């Protein structure tokens, strides 16, 4: 299949920006300004950071390492949990995300790579590709192993619902804290602003730095055929995805930080989950 796709890559029928996606993306950013009206509290910031970390883990350990690369195995309930939480990040659904990431590896840093900063602008690699008509379709030929899961297809089709549910949850949480724990100094609108809008926008740009920054800045341990880089800062804000040159050299490895000083929080969490029997068969780089 890979050779066929390399010879006949999917061609987008429309180019330019998708105004529907741009409108949603702009709204998410403008909604962060709500924080200036609501003010800030320690509780709101704590929820903002917690939801950032939990959802980043679902993106890195779920959308990326499990769905895109099959670097470990798990049961269907935990698979769905990762898919649902990842979808609350409002980066579309697990099938769309995985198909685009597999396309990235198939055509990395070539004209067919929609978010290569080598072949395109930094803006296009960071966020422009996400807003374009080119990226809206899902090439199902790249994800045949995922299509058998009805729940993943449902999440992918109705990817707007999980973020809306999370937004409602943060608003309700703020209302409850404001009523029963007034010392927390928060409210429904404040928790919505920080817990959902600010946290989600930070997630956007944290995730997108892997496409842009980690293909421009950092060290190269391995001479791969692309421009992937190892970047500590990106690794810290993405729970380990910044060891991108390692990843492109060993794409099927669950562990991306190969040495003890290469911080890979998602790997630590997955290793702990393997001890508890939640995940299994964590794939490692070949020895030697």
pTM of the model: 0.93
Has residue 133 been placed in a domain?
A: yes
Is 194 within the bounds of a domain? yes
Tell me if 238 sits within 8 A of 264, measured CB to CB: no
Q: Is residue 198 part of a domain?
A: yes
| Residue whose entry in the numeric block shows the structure tokens 């090439």 | 139
Domain residue limits at 152: 2-8+18-280
Do residues 182 and 191 lie in contact, with contact meaning Cβ atoms separated by under 8 Å?
Answer: no
User: Hey, is 18 helix, strand or coil?
Assistant: coil
69 part of a folded domain: yes
231: in domain: yes
Q: Which helix (H) or strand (E) holds 280?
A: strand 279-280
Among candidates 288, 212, 202, 214, which has minimal Cα distance to 246?
214
> Per-residue pLDDT for the chain (288 aa), expressed as one digit of tens each?
444 444 444 444 456 899 999 999 999 999 999 999 999 999 999 999 999 999 999 999 999 999 999 999 999 999 999 999 999 999 999 999 999 999 999 999 999 999 999 999 999 999 999 999 999 999 999 999 999 999 999 999 999 999 999 999 999 999 999 999 999 999 999 999 999 999 999 999 999 999 999 999 999 999 999 999 999 999 999 999 999 999 999 999 999 999 999 999 999 999 999 999 999 999 999 875
**Res 1: pLDDT:** 44
C-alpha angle 37-42-43 in degrees, rounded to nearest 5:
90
Radius of gyration of the chain (CA): 19
Residue 285 belongs to some domain of the structure: no
Q: Which of 96, 84, 92, 116 is nearest to 21 (CA)?
A: 92
The answer to whether the beta carbons of residues 252 and 71 sit under 8 Å apart is yes
Which residues are paired to 280 by β-bridges?
73
Specify if 71 maps to a domain.
Answer: yes
219: which strand partners? 230
Is 288 inside any structural domain? no
> How many folded domains does the chain comprise?
1
């Amino acid at each position: 299949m890979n050779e066929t796709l390399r010879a006949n890559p999917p061609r987008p029928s429309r180019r330019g920006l998708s105004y529907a996606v741009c409108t949603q993306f702009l709204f998410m950013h403008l909604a962060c300004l709500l924080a200036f009206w609501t003010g800030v509290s320690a509780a709101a910031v704590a929820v903002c950071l917690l939801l950032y970390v939990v959802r980043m883990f679902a993106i890195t350990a779920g959308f990326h390492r499990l769905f895109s690369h099959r670097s470990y195995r798990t049961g269907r309930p935990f698979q769905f949990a990762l898919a649902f939480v990842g979808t609350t990040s409002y980066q579309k659904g697990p099938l769309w995300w995985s198909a685009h990431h597999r396309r990235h590896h198939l055509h990395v840093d070539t004209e067919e790579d929609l978010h290569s900063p080598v072949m395109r602008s930094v803006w296009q690699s960071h966020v422009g590709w996400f807003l374009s008509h080119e990226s809206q379709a899902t090439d199902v030929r790249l994800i045949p192993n995922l299509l058998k899961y009805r729940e993943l297809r449902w999440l992918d089709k109705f990817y707007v619902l999980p973020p809306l549910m999370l937004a409602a949850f943060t608003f309700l949480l703020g209302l409850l804290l404001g009523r029963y724990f007034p010392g927390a100094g928060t409210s429904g609108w404040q928790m919505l602003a920080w817990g959902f809008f600010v946290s989600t926008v930070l997630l956007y740009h944290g995730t997108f730095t892997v496409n842009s920054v980690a293909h421009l800045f950092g060290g190269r341990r391995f001479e791969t055929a692309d421009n992937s880089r190892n970047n500590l800062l990106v690794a810290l804000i993405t729970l380990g995805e910044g060891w991108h040159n390692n990843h492109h050299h060993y794409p099927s490895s669950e562990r991306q930080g190969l040495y003890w000083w290469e911080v890979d929080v998602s790997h630590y969490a997955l290793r702990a989950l393997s001890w508890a029997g939640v995940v299994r068969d964590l794939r490692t780089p070949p020895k030697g």
